[in-house]
């Protein structure tokens, strides 16, 4: 057995998670033999880029967090969901357009905005009708369509959903420095973090042991990774190549701040 110490920046984690997702049997099966629906979100954008090779990640966003607060992009600049059917990208298609054709062998990818203290995926809702997650959640549950929710561990919060559920909705804020939102826990969703990516790519066990940094390492997470000698050797070489992933491209297509 060998041990590996590695720190991943936010961008490196997003790239790593995307590569991990693509290495899983469930995603490969959906991509090549059924429907793989990748809804809008920054981590999801990396997965689309991994599949297509080139992709404008800045358009694969609806809600985002900027220094001012929670915010949204201009609707006219957004890409559609990336819907793949048997390996082919469908043009101008959203997940709701193909739900009637989907079942347990297909997959919906929905980035989480946060993971609560129990690692339950949470999604912020700027739309009064529940946005993208509101358009598919009931049907996915009824048809047992897997929902995988990628999120870096930098999105972990120390509170539980039960601590604040029912205390606010998007129209109940007296003040909001940013876009007013509601929130929902997606208990049917399966979180996919760096830990799952380590397992999918190398069959090793990873534990977060530290977080944060400066000089571009803000939001980073440091991991203790353990596994068989060959697997750790492979992970080390892989991560050496991954290091230096550039920050997420600057997004300028945001709604004007009043």
Domains of the chain as residue ranges with CATH: 13-192 (3.40.50)
What's the confidence (pLDDT) of residue 256? 84
Give yes or no for residue 258 having a pLDDT over 90: no
Looking at the DSSP assignment, which residues form a beta bridge with residue 123? Answer: 184
CA distance 49 to 124: 24
Looking at the DSSP assignment, which residues form a beta bridge with residue 235? Answer: none
- 116-136 mean pLDDT: 95
What's the confidence (pLDDT) of residue 257? 79
DSSP 241-253: HHTTPPPPPP---
Longest dimension (CA), the chain: 56
- Residue 208 dihedral angles phi and psi, to the nearest 5°: -70, 135
Apex 14 CA angle, 8 and 16, nearest 5: 70
Answer for the pair 42, 245: CB distance below 8 angstroms, yes or no. no
Kindly report, residue by residue over 199-230, the tens digit of the pLDDT.
Answer: 999 999 999 999 999 999 999 999 999 999 99
Kindly report, residue by residue over 78-122, the tens digit of the pLDDT.
Answer: 999 999 999 999 999 999 999 999 999 999 999 999 999 999 999
């Amino acid at each position: 057995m060998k041990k590996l110490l590695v720190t991943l920046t936010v961008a490196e984690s997003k790239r790593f998670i995307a590569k991990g997702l693509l290495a899983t049997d469930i995603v490969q099966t959906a991509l090549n033999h059924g429907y793989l629906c990748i809804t809008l979100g920054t981590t999801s954008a990396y997965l689309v880029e991994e599949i297509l090779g080139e992709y404008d990640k800045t358009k694969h966003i609806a809600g985002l967090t900027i220094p001012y607060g929670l915010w949204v992009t201009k609707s006219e600049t957004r890409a559609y969901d990336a819907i793949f059917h048997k390996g082919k990208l469908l043009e101008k298609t959203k997940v709701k357009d193909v739900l009637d054709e989907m079942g347990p062998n297909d997959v919906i990818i929905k980035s989480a905005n946060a993971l609560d203290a129990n690692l339950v995926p949470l999604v912020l809702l700027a739309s009064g009708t529940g946005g993208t997650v509101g358009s598919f959640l009931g049907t996915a549950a009824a048809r047992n369509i897997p929902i995988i929710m990628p999120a870096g561990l930098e999105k972990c919060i120390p509170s539980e959903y039960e601590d604040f559920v029912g205390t606010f909705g998007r129209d109940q804020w007296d003040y909001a420095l940013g876009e007013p939102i509601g929130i929902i826990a997606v208990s049917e969703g399966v979180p996919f973090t760096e830990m799952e990516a380590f397992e999918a790519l190398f069959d090793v066990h990873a534990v977060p042991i530290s977080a944060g940094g400066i000089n571009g390492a803000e939001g980073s997470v440091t991991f203790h990774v353990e596994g068989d000698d060959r697997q750790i050797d492979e992970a080390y070489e892989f991560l050496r190549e991954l290091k230096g992933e550039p920050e997420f491209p600057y997004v300028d297509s945001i709604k004007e701040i009043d």
